[in-house]
Each structure stands twice: as structure tokens, then as C-alpha cells.
Amino acid sequence: MNETVQTAVIGVTGYAGAELARLLLHHPHLQSKPPVFAGRVDARDAERGGVPLGEIHPELANSHGSGKLVQQPFSWELLEDLGVEVLFMATPHEQSRQWAPEALKRGIKVIDLSGAWRLNEAENRAVYGFEDEGSAIAVTTQAEAVYGMPELFRKQIATARLIANPGCYATSVILPLKPLASAGLLDLERGIVADSKSGVSGAGKAATAKTHYMYAADNLSAYGVFGHRHTGELLEQIGLEREQIVFTPHLLPIPRGILSTIYVHFKTPQTKANVMHVYREFFAGSPMVRLYDNALPQIQYSVRTGYCDIGVQLDAGGKRAVIVSCLDNLLKGAASQAVQNLNVVEGWSEAEGLE
């Protein structure tokens, strides 16, 4: 177990980047080594050494000395000179495709919050249209990537050099379904329906016509039907064929949070006690999953926390169930899951700095 480690963040200007900075600045093991922030800096700001973090995110000003920290002009030489050992990349997918291999070549571990390295199957990656698809360096890098969901891959993450942080929607669907699929309870011939709803911050900081206030407020809309980028993660991590699940994301008129309502059939009648036993066995030692026995989760319970909340209700015959999972798309769906992965890599308590 390492006492501390030098981290760096590329992409601190975004919503997930802000949450990542906040978590790292408050992390008990990182007080002596605050993160390095690097990115695009114009010539005027470069002359003063970078952009103060307090100007980028005023809510972080003077938090654990962060008022003195700046986003410096990015260079690999900067990271090496400052002894960066773990690099968080809250960058666009194509940027991560370019920079992750270079970081690994320089001996820097990478926790990538983008979708650049999440998918093992070329058929599933096709939705991203990566320009380097099939190149030798892309194939080699992908082979080294570990899907960054500690509840599934804790052992592999502990020794990984490249961790591909899961998608937010994907996390909210994989965690409630994987235990039931692994136990062989699901009747996949009857199919699964995952109806997921997310706040507008899930679309990122760049404004679009559909995240504009006039569109999103007082509205609820479906999008990415049969083609959302997170679908491939569900197929690969749960072990499904494409025709066995319908996943439909929706845009909620709230700032943050995800609620997924998942409809399943069981092969044989089940009791709620048996289903909850399966969940408890699977998530034993997983501190960032909360199971609800007597109620169903709500977004307001999980927002601004690092938890994924899961609850289930069965019909009278025990052959059908409705599962509800909730999480904060910027935390368990992004930044806090990334820090959870850091904790596993460094041998710290998995929930360190997250509860």
C-alpha cells in the first residue's frame, strides 16, 4: 500500500473534472501531494503560470489550498518533471485515444473517464468511429485496458496500468443486472428493458440545442434509441446479445442524477428474499453499492454521493421484477468511480475519500 501518490488531471474544466478535482483535493491520502492540473492555456494565461483553479471553478477556491493551484499548459515534460504517477483523463474520446498510449509509454498509469478504451469488441466500438481503429497501437492499448468497475474487476484493477472508467448509464444498468445474470436467474429469451433517465449534466458542459434551458426545462425526451454509445458496455459486461436488451436513455429536466428502471423475467419463480440474498452475496465488500430492502431508490437519495442505490420489487407470482437503480452521473457515473479505482490501485480502502 502506498501512503500517497502524485496525480494529475487533464480536463478539469468540465463538470466531471470539477467533481474529480474536489474529491482529489479532499482525499486523505493526497493532502501532501495535491493534483497537478494541466490543459489548454492561452498565451496570456501562460505568462502568469496558468489559470487559477478558483477562476475555473469558484466553488473550489481555497479548498484545502486549492486557491494557489493553477491549470498549467499541458506537456508531457511537465508531468514527468512533477513526478506524476497516475493521470486522470477527463477528455474527449479521441483525445484519450491519442494520449493514453503516450502516458503508458512514459510509465504513467491512466484512469480514463472517456469512452476511448471501454469496449473490447470492434462491433461495439464502431459507434464511436475512432480514426485509429485497428492500428497496432490501438490494438495493443485496448488489450491492456481494464474496465473500471471495482465491483466486477477489483482484482484486475489493482494491477492495471490503463483503467477505462465506465459510462454513467452503463453503471446504473450493469450493477443491478450483473448479479442476477451471473446467478443464472434471468430469462433472457423474454428480454430485458432498461428505461434510464439522466439529468442534463450527463451531456457534458458544451451547450447543445437539446440541453438548452428552453428545450430541457419542463420536458422529458428519449434519445439514442437502439444506438446509444453505452449499449456496448451492457452487452459486454453483463454477457448479453444485442436482441436480449432494449436500453432507452431519456433526458430529465434536472441538473444531475440517473434513475434506471429495469424490467426482467426470471426463469423460475423467485422470492424477494432470494433476490436480495443474491445481491448481498455479490456485493459483499463493495462499499459504494447500497441495497434497499423495503423501498425503492430515488435520485434525491443518491445525488451528490458516490453510491449506486439498488432496489427491487417482484410481482405476485415471482416471475417478473422491476429493479430501480440510482446514482449521480457526475460521481458514481464518473468522478467518484475514478477515485474508487485509484483507491484500488493504491491499495487504500475502496471508499477512502468518498463517504
Is 168 catalytic? The answer is: yes
CB half-sphere exposure, 147, CA atoms < 13 A? 19
Residue 17 CA to residue 10 CA, distance in Å, equals 8
Residue 329 CA to residue 166 CA, distance in Å, equals 11
Amino acid at 78: L
| Active-site annotation holder among 20, 110, 116, 168 | 168
DSSP string, 272-301: HHHHHHHHHHHTTT-TTEEEESSS---HHH
Residue 176 CA to residue 9 CA, distance in Å, equals 30
What is the edge-to-edge ordering of all strands in the sheet holding 221-222? 221-222, 245-251, 192-198, 258-265, 320-327, 308-314, 289-292
Check residue 53 and report its DSSP letter.
Answer: H
Q: Which residues are catalytic?
A: 168
